[in-house]
């Protein structure tokens, strides 16, 4: 169970890092806003170091999940 948990966390963080690498900025719209042209959204710009840190952290977590023995007590 722990192995699958760490593997899922690592893959999620790795994919988030790849998203940040490809996309320049994210626009979060309000729930009540209709359409993408609403000016009431929030703009998020990930810093330059964020994609690479997320990718490396996800890769290390994935490698860690492979080193966990399959039969962990607890």
The domain spans of the chain are 2-29+39-67
Nearest to 1 by CA among 59, 70, 58: 70
**Residues 6+ positions from 16 with CB-CB distance below 8 Å:** 54, 58
pTM recorded for the entire structure = 0.75
Burial class from Cβ neighbours inside 10 Å (0-12, 13-18, 19+) for residue 49 reads exposed
pLDDT tens sequence across 2-47:
889 999 999 999 999 999 999 988 888 777 656 555 566 788 898 9
Secondary structure letter of residue 30 according to DSSP: P
List the beta strands (DSSP E) in the chain: 26-28, 42-44
């Amino acid at each position: 169970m722990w192995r699958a948990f760490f593997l899922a966390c690592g893959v999620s963080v790795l994919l988030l890092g790849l998203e940040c690498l490809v996309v320049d900025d994210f626009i979060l719209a309000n729930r009540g806003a209709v359409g993408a042209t609403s000016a009431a959204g929030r703009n998020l710009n990930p810093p330059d170091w964020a994609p690479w840190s997320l990718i490396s952290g996800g890769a290390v977590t994935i490698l860690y999940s492979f080193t966990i023995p399959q039969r962990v007590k607890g």
